[in-house]
Amino acid sequence: MNILKLLITVIFLINFFSSDLKAKNLGTEITKNLRCLICQGQSVYDSDSEFANSLKILVEKKLDDGLSEKQVYDYLKNKYGDWILYDPGFNKNTYFLWLLPILMFVFGGAIILRKVILKK
Amino acid sequence: MKTKIFPIFLIITFSIIFYVFYKGLQNSNIYTPEIKSEIKIPSFEAKEFFSKDNVNSDQIFIGSEYYLLNIWASWCIPCKEEHKYLMDLSKKENIKIIGQNYKDNFVNAKNFLIKLDNPYDLIFSDNDGTIAIEWGAYGVPESFLIKNNQIIKKIIGPLNEKLFSEIKELTQ
């Protein structure tokens, strides 16, 4: 029974790792990280709006022209601003967003540390 | 002492959180891209609407004249609303109106122009919508006022009385 379970697990894992993970192309990866400006809250990849469909074509075109992933992001950021990226870069508008978790972590750690020290 | 600090701290924290969220309630949750003015127009190649000849963007926007690029489609209802303003602007001498026909059916678009008249000095087709993205547009209608290859004003949505007089003032 255990051997059977192990076998099923192994087969499942092999299938999982050899599935279409490799088949993904860069264009798909990029459009998944782009916010659709018409249907906000959806990525361009998921959306079927006119804007999203055009953007998908454009990303493929730009990649065919030989632009790198970063260049495509920069190009779109220049046109539409940081908002179009789901993973915005670190700059003066986003530093609070990026630093807040660290700040909270340090602050919380300090409270816990104080409690422990006070107990002693 | 310790027991007093904690409730005060708690109250302050929650007041701040309440304030931030309360303020946030009034904000619009629909994002429109920042309107950056004085940016250079993109360069692109397109097909002329009627003749289907290739046109390049530097052949369209020449010299120091004023150009109004208008992205339109026959299926777009607000485009019909703004049409009368475009007709008015087309009578002005110092401004050229360029139409960008966005994802449209040729016959429908032609009928639209026959029915409502044609305000455009030149129209090019944007069948897959990629040229609209080059402009940083994301819907129809959108208009761009251009001088010396720079975008001096970007208008999202249809033209209205206020925007119309603003354009007139800018192009005096």
Whichever domain contains B94, its CATH number is 3.40.30.10
Domains held by chain A: number: 2
* Interface residue B38 vs chain A (CB under 8 A): no
In terms of domains, do A77 and A103 share one? no
Edge to edge, the sheet with strand B95-102 lists B39-40, B150-156, B142-147, B66-72, B95-102, B122-126, B45-48, B54-56
Written as six digits, the tokens of A45 are 């990849």
- Is B22 part of any domain? no
How far apart are alpha carbons A36 and A84 in whole angstroms? 7
- Is A13 part of any domain? no
Question: pTM for the complete prediction?
Answer: 0.72
CB crowding A38-62: b at 16 or more within 10 Å, else e? eeeeeebbebebbbbebbbebbbeb
In terms of domains, do A77 and A97 share one? no
Give tens-digit pLDDT for B3-62: 788 889 999 999 999 999 998 888 776 666 666 656 788 889 999 999 999 999 888 888
In terms of domains, do A65 and A36 share one? yes
pLDDT band at B86 (very low <50, low <70, confident <90, very high): very high
- Is A119 part of any domain? yes
Give tens-digit pLDDT for B146-172: 988 888 888 888 999 999 999 988 888
Closest residue of A to B40, CA-based?
A: A79
Written as six digits, the tokens of B118 are 């044609």
Chain A interface residues (partner B, CB cutoff 8 A):
37-38, 40, 50-51, 53-55, 57-58, 61, 79-81, 83-84
Written as six digits, the tokens of A43 are 């990525």
Give me the domain span that covers residue B131. Answer: 39-170
Q: Which residue, A62, A26, A52, is CA-closest to B42?
A: A62
| Predicted local confidence at residue B32, as pLDDT | 67
DSSP state, B49? Answer: T
- Mutation site, B138, B140, B154, interface A, largest A CB count within 10 A: B138
3-state secondary structure of B4: helix
Give me the domain span that covers residue A39. Answer: 25-89
> Which positions in chain B touch A74 (Cβ < 8 Å)?
none
Domains held by chain B: number: 1
Give tens-digit pLDDT for A2-31: 888 888 888 888 877 766 555 467 888 888
In terms of domains, do A75 and A99 share one? no
- Is B34 part of any domain? no
In terms of domains, do A30 and A65 share one? yes
* Interface residue B35 vs chain A (CB under 8 A): no
Q: B57, B43 in Cβ contact below 8 A?
A: yes
Amino acid at site B44 = F
- Maximum Cα interatomic distance, chain A, rounded to a whole number of Å: 65
In terms of domains, do A35 and A53 share one? yes
Other CB atoms closer than 10 Å to residue B42's CB: what's the count?
A: 13
* pLDDT averaged over every residue in chain A: 84
In terms of domains, do A74 and A96 share one? no
Closest residue of B to A39, CA-based?
A: B30
Nearest CB among A40, A57, A83 relative to B130 is that of A57
Give tens-digit pLDDT for B104-113: 999 999 999 9
Written as six digits, the tokens of B88 are 């008015």
Q: Do B129 and A51 touch (CB under 8 A)?
A: yes
> Which positions in chain A touch B132 (Cβ < 8 Å)?
54
